[in-house]
Chain A
Amino acid sequence: MARKILLEHAHVAGIEGYDVYRKMGGYRSVEKALKTMTPEEVVDEVKRSGLRGRGGAGFPTGMKWSFLAKPEGIPRYLLCNADESEPGTFKDRYLMEKIPHLLVEGMVTSSFALGVHTAYIYIRGEYKWIVKILEKAIAEAYAHGWLGENILGTGYSLDLYVSPGGGAYICGEETALIESLEGKRGNPRIKPPFPAVKGLWQSPTVVNNVETLATVPAIVNEGGEAYAEIGVGRSTGTKLISACGNLNKPGVYEIEMGVPVEEFIFSDEYCGGIPDGKRFKACVPGGSSVPILPADLMLKTAKGEDRVMTYESLSDGGFVSGTMLGSGGFIVFDEDQCIVRNTYTYARFYHHESCGQCSPCREGTGWMEKVLHRLEYGHGREHDLDLLVDISKKIEGNTICPLGDAAAWPVAAAIRHFREEFEWHVRYPQEALVRNYGLGRLEHYYGAVGV
């Protein structure tokens, strides 16, 4: 069995409550950090651990913390990004729902390391039941002296608030999150300046994902080096993976970095293979925004090596034959799934969620969706495929924030790896509709075209 760090006690009854959590060793990291360590020592420990941001970008957390400007007389803020909106990603929700105190503990320890006295959990509005769970945990932490004035008599004070957002995907982008938290429209800011210099209320701010912050207690308790021993190379520690799609056992798994993809999909310890013995067709391993890969490239790299669950291995081959670990939203498709339909669904999502600030994303996402709609509903043309690739190139890298890339990559990758399927949709639109939607849809289609 793989080592567990975050979900070690997830199965313990009542772990969501303070008493059980404390009994299982909860809040030890706060005691250790506040009483025996300096903030710099905590930051160094996180640097030694090699922990990389678990929100998707995978930027080294310790390095991000060390960028935080520390001007005298200006407050600093820690924001927890719990706006988990990436389709296919639902790991943070599980963590907050099951062990809310782990996040609270992580935020107290991290805030101490960063010299922060006010911290916020920005959570997506749809998770309203988790807001209540977190608020209860925070109230318990205040009641037992882990939050508030003079924590453990060390002179350190921290206030922690939960702030539900309006439910927009773009608010998961750190600067849009800050705008939203300030009560404004959740539009991304143009960088630089980066939040570490000018973030919330123009003050230095660190924005970290739920999983990242929840990992900090283990690093402080056991030491950064012990954490870095888990995993492979620069992908250290464990990672929560939310597996869904055509799997026998979809769910949230904590894996040690470096587990082979094949083992993750097919072994009984994890996803248990594809239902009904169907063929494994494709996979999106890091949330809907990362490039889709066909089964052969998902299991083996272009060089023929086993693909393993690490940042490096999954991105091996670049976008020609690789993908990204991203947020760990692992979506598996069996042989019956239609890539065109799936790509259209993703394009609809990103079109809907584009904030509309910059023209390539605002206009390009809508254009892609409309072309894919044509393809999906039997009106596609041969040249539509090249048009889609061209539009995705216009968007990629040309936008204020990464939402443009998130919209462009899945479309470009789907056409790159499954071009025949798109062409099939163009040549045989009626068959394509039958395959995807069944007879009812076919009748609807015949009615529409007057056959």
Chain B
Amino acid sequence: MLKVTIDGIETQVKSGTTILQAARQIATEHPEHSHVVPPAMCYYTPLEGSGGKCRTCIVRVSQGSEKDPRPMPKPVASCQTQVMDGMVVENTTNPDLLAARKSVVELLLINHPLDCPVCDQAGECHLQDLAFEHGAAETRYEEERRTFERIDIGSHIQLHMTRCILCYRCVYTANQLTDERVHGVLFRGDRAEIGTYIEQAIDNDFSGNVIDVCPVGALTDKTFRFRSRVWFTRPFDAHRACDKCCGKAVLWMAGDEVLRVTARKDAFDEVEEFICNECRFDHKVKDDWTVEGPRTINRHSVISANKYKAKDKTVV
């Protein structure tokens, strides 16, 4: 086991653990220390090869290891940097690092509109949280921003490239979950686009998962778009017998009406088990599901608003 200290909190991790995973381990064991977890826009545990691109998870390593205590000269991507024994990491305790992260947020927001009031991802958007926590009040970018028409890629998914931050999560999902992938990255640099081959439909059985992994509102569920703000819905864990996937999902309901079906996500908003399109899009009736009970939303985002729980009353 290796010893690592993040923001003054020490823990032991297995060899090969990254700084981000070590921080998540601390936050899981001690939820009161959740501030040690760096934000991540492109890293996604279930997707092999993801991470290292968005640079929002950068941290300052103030001591490389017990053997070599020299600090690392520049901030490192915590999702890709493995822990060494005795490593000391600063996530929220270093002002320079917070300034560097603010820079990354500024760059990410160059082309991503802050149209949260009309965006379907509002409340579940990682960039919204990131901008709120690390962003500047004003932008220095005065040039024209890039905009796109919305594209329907299949009967259930809408792509709005204007909001895409090119995290590649959907590309990895398509690569690793679906057969005959038809979408990927076209062009390069800031002209790069997520696109399909001549606007082909994505109709693979597991294609709906690209919606779940998208950290912003670029890929949205057409069966849910604009039907409700997410914080007005009530999430319930539910399952059904499915011969394609695990059949375990979250039903987002308004009264008895199922507005949306998604996969179940963990405390870090990563899908635990991917679900098929049939579960996601074709069973929007409560009777098709066995409802297990209300789902606890761990994220501190507005998504957890209005999810009241009755306190136990002591009857005298």
Is residue A387 contacting chain B, with contact meaning CB distance below 8 A? yes
Give the residue of A190, A351, A360, A367 whose beta carbon is less than 8 angstroms from that of B104: A360
Given contacts A354-B188, A355-B189, A356-B166, contact A397 B52 (CB under 8 A): no
Is residue A56 contacting chain B, with contact meaning CB distance below 8 A? no
A360, B166: Cα distance in complex, Å: 12
A363 touches B108 (CB 8 A): yes
B140 touches A387 (CB 8 A): yes
Give the residue of B106, B184, B191 whose beta carbon is less than 8 angstroms from that of A356: B191
Is residue A109 contacting chain B, with contact meaning CB distance below 8 A? no
Residues of A within 8 A of B285 (CB): none
A355, B189: Cα distance in complex, Å: 5
A245, B189: Cα distance in complex, Å: 28
A223-264, CB < 8 A from B = none
B188 touches A355 (CB 8 A): yes
As a 0/1 sequence over residues 150 to 191 of chain A, the CB contacts with chain B under 8 angstroms (1 = contact) are 000000000000000000101000000000000001000010
Give the residue of B51, B75, B108 whose beta carbon is less than 8 angstroms from that of A398: B75
Is residue B53 contacting chain A, with contact meaning CB distance below 8 A? yes
A367 touches B52 (CB 8 A): no
A363 touches B52 (CB 8 A): no
Given contacts A367-B110, A398-B74, A398-B75, contact A359 B104 (CB under 8 A): yes
B53 touches A400 (CB 8 A): yes
CB closest residue in chain A, given B102: A394
Residues of A within 8 A of B51 (CB): 190
CB closest residue in chain A, given B167: A359
Is residue B111 contacting chain A, with contact meaning CB distance below 8 A? yes
Residues of A within 8 A of B140 (CB): 387
A351, B143: Cα distance in complex, Å: 15
Residues of A within 8 A of B188 (CB): 168, 170, 353-356
Residues of A within 8 A of B100 (CB): 394, 398
Closest-CB distance, A28 to chain B (whole angstroms): 44
As a 0/1 sequence over residues 210 to 251 of chain B, the CB contacts with chain A under 8 angstroms (1 = contact) are 000000000000000000000000000000000000000000
Residues of B within 8 A of A400 (CB): 52-53
A358, B141: Cα distance in complex, Å: 19
B52 touches A354 (CB 8 A): no
As a 0/1 sequence over residues 352 to 387 of chain A, the CB contacts with chain B under 8 angstroms (1 = contact) are 111111111011111100110000000000000001
Residues of B within 8 A of A353 (CB): 188-189
Closest-CB distance, B105 to chain A (whole angstroms): 9
Residues of B within 8 A of A394 (CB): 100, 103-104, 106-107
Residues of A within 8 A of B77 (CB): 190
A190 touches B189 (CB 8 A): no
A359 touches B143 (CB 8 A): no
Residues of B within 8 A of A371 (CB): 143
A366, B52: Cα distance in complex, Å: 20
B190 touches A351 (CB 8 A): yes
B181-226, CB < 8 A from A = 184-185, 187-192
Interface of A (DSSP majority class): helix
Given contacts A358-B52, A359-B108, A360-B55, contact A365 B190 (CB under 8 A): yes
Size class of A's contact patch? 20 to 34
A354 touches B190 (CB 8 A): yes
Interface of B (DSSP majority class): loop
Name, among A190, A352, A357, A364, the residue most crowded by chain B CB atoms within 10 Å (CB to CB). A357
A398 touches B104 (CB 8 A): yes
Residues of B within 8 A of A190 (CB): 51-52, 77, 80
Give the residue of B74, B107, B168 whose beta carbon is less than 8 angstroms from that of A357: B168
Give the residue of A354, A356, A367 whose beta carbon is less than 8 angstroms from that of B141: A367
Residues of B within 8 A of A352 (CB): 189
CB closest residue in chain B, given A362: B190
Give the residue of A362, A370, A393, A399 whose beta carbon is less than 8 angstroms from that of B189: A362
A375, B106: Cα distance in complex, Å: 22
A365, B80: Cα distance in complex, Å: 23
Residues of A within 8 A of B185 (CB): 185, 356
A365 touches B104 (CB 8 A): no
A397, B191: Cα distance in complex, Å: 22
As a 0/1 sequence over residues 133 to 165 of chain B, the CB contacts with chain A under 8 angstroms (1 = contact) are 000000011010000000000000000000001
A366 touches B189 (CB 8 A): yes
Closest-CB distance, B33 to chain A (whole angstroms): 27
CB closest residue in chain B, given A404: B55
A275, B224: Cα distance in complex, Å: 69
Residues of A within 8 A of B108 (CB): 359, 363
Closest-CB distance, A18 to chain B (whole angstroms): 40
Closest-CB distance, A395 to chain B (whole angstroms): 8
Closest-CB distance, A379 to chain B (whole angstroms): 10
A354, B107: Cα distance in complex, Å: 15
Residues of B within 8 A of A397 (CB): 73-74
A260, B271: Cα distance in complex, Å: 61
A394, B55: Cα distance in complex, Å: 11
Residues of B within 8 A of A354 (CB): 188-190
As a 0/1 sequence over residues 392 to 436 of chain A, the CB contacts with chain B under 8 angstroms (1 = contact) are 011001111000000000000000000000000000000000000
A365, B74: Cα distance in complex, Å: 20
Give the residue of B53, B74, B143, B165 whose beta carbon is less than 8 angstroms from that of A367: B143
A359 touches B141 (CB 8 A): no
Give the residue of B53, B54, B107 whose beta carbon is less than 8 angstroms from that of A364: B107
Residues of A within 8 A of B168 (CB): 357
23 A-B contacts, Cβ less than 8 Å apart?
A: A185-B184, A185-B185, A351-B189, A351-B190, A352-B189, A355-B189, A356-B188, A356-B189, A356-B190, A356-B192, A357-B53, A357-B168, A358-B55, A359-B55, A359-B108, A359-B165, A360-B107, A364-B107, A397-B73, A397-B74, A398-B58, A398-B74, A398-B75
Which residues of A are in contact with B by a Cβ distance under 8 Å? Answer: 168, 170, 185, 190, 351-360, 362-367, 370-371, 387, 393-394, 397-400
A366-B189, A367-B107 provided; 19 other pairs, C-beta below 8 A?
A168-B188, A190-B77, A351-B190, A353-B189, A356-B189, A356-B190, A359-B54, A359-B104, A359-B165, A359-B166, A360-B103, A362-B190, A363-B111, A366-B190, A367-B110, A367-B141, A397-B73, A398-B74, A399-B55
